[in-house]
C-alpha cells in the first residue's frame, strides 16, 4: 500500500548532534525519499546505547558532525526505493547497524556477520548509491550515523540493514534487539562456536590416540586443547602425532 508521503521529502523532528559534547538540538529536519536499495522508516521507538554517547562525546575516531545519532530502534516502513523486495510499506522492522547482504565474502564465510557491502558508506555517514546523506536542515546536509540514525521520526537505511519482524511484537520492547540484546546473543554464539571447536579438537586428539594423553589428568588435556587454538601449536601436535605412531 503506497503512503501519501511516498516519493516526497518528509519534514519531521529529529535530535541533531551539531558538535561533540554539546546538547542535541531537537528541530525540523528534511528526510529525502529512499533511493534504489533504500528503505525509509517511521521510527516509533528508539533507545539510547552507550555507543551513541561514545560518538557524541567526541572520542569516536569515526564520529562525524553534524549527525543524527541512534541505532537501537523499531518502526514501520513508510516507503521503499527501486529494487527493494525484502520489505514493503507497512512492514514492522528493526534497523540494523550491521548489515547482512547474504552475498559478500564476509556473509558467505559462515564465520562472521561483518558484512562489508555498505560499510564503506555507513562508516562515513552517507548512503552508498550516491555517497550523499538523506538528511538535511534548511539545505545543509546532516550525516547519518551507523547507517541507522534513529533519533529521528523518519530515517533512511540501506535495504540490507533492515530486519522485518512480527507485527504483533511490541516496538517499544523489541527495539532493544537492534543492539543490546543481539550483542549479548552474539557473544553467546561465539562461546558456542568455541565449544564446538574444542569438541572437534578433542575428537581429533582422541583419534590420534596419543600415548601422552593416557593416564594424564584433565589439566594436561585442557592445556593441549588451549594450545591447539594457536596455529604454531598445530605444528606441535603434528610432531606429537608422528612420534606416537
Ligand atoms: Zn549499541
Ligand atoms: Zn554481506
Max CA pair span of the chain? 77
96 alpha carbon, closest ligand:
1
CA of residue 81 to ligand 1 center, whole Å = 27
> Grid coordinates standing for 207?
583419534
What pairs with residue 12 in β-bridges? 29
User: Rounded to an integer, what distance in angstroms lies between the CA atom of residue 68 and that of residue 157?
Assistant: 13
pLDDT tens for 82-95 read 999 999 999 999 99
Distance 37 CA to ligand 2 centre (A): 14
Interatomic CA distance for residues 32 and 204, integer angstroms: 57
* Cα 169 to ligand 2 centre (Å): 27
In this predicted structure, what is the pLDDT of residue 233?
46
Task: Please write the tens of the pLDDT for every residue from 2-56.
Answer: 678 999 999 999 999 999 999 999 999 999 999 999 999 999 999 999 999 999 9
| Per-residue confidence (pLDDT) for residue 243, from 0 to 100 | 47
| pTM, entire model | 0.77
Amino acid at each position: 500500500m503506497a503512503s501519501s508521503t511516498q516519493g516526497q521529502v518528509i519534514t519531521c523532528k529529529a535530535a541533531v548532534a551539531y558538535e561533540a559534547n554539546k546538547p542535541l538540538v531537537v528541530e525540523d529536519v528534511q528526510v529525502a525519499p529512499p533511493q534504489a536499495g533504500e528503505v525509509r522508516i517511521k521510527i516509533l521507538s528508539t533507545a539510547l546505547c552507550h555507543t551513541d554517547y561514545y560518538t557524541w562525546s567526541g572520542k569516536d575516531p569515526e564520529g562525524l558532525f553534524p549527525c543524527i545519532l541512534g541505532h537501537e530502534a523499531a518502526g514501520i516502513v513508510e516507503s521503499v526505493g527501486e529494487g527493494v523486495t525484502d520489505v514493503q510499506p507497512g512492514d514492522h522492522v528493526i534497523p540494523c547497524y550491521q548489515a547482512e547482504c547474504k552475498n559478500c565474502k564476509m556473509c558467505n564465510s559462515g564465520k562472521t556477520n561483518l558484512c562489508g557491502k555498505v560499510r564503506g558508506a555507513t562508516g562515513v555517514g552517507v548512503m552508498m548509491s550516491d555517497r550523499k546523506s538523506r538528511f538535511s536542515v534548511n539545505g545543509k546536509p546532516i550525516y547519518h550515523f551507523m547507517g541507522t540514525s534513529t533519533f529521528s521520526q523518519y530515517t533512511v537505511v540501506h535495504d540490507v540493514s533492515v530486519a522485518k519482524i512480527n507485527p504483533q511484537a511490541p516496538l517499544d520492547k523489541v527495539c532493544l534487539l537492534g543492539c543490546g540484546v543481539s550483542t549479548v546473543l552474539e557473544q553467546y554464539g561465539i562461546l558456542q562456536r568455541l565449544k564446538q571447536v574444542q569438541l572437534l579438537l578433542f575428537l581429533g586428539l582422541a583419534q590420534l590416540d596419543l600415548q601422552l594423553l593416557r593416564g594424564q589428568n584433565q589439566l594436561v588435556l585442557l592445556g593441549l586443547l588451549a594450545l591447539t587454538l594457536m596455529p604454531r601449536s598445530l605444528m606441535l601436535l603434528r610432531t606429537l602425532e608422528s612420534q606416537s605412531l
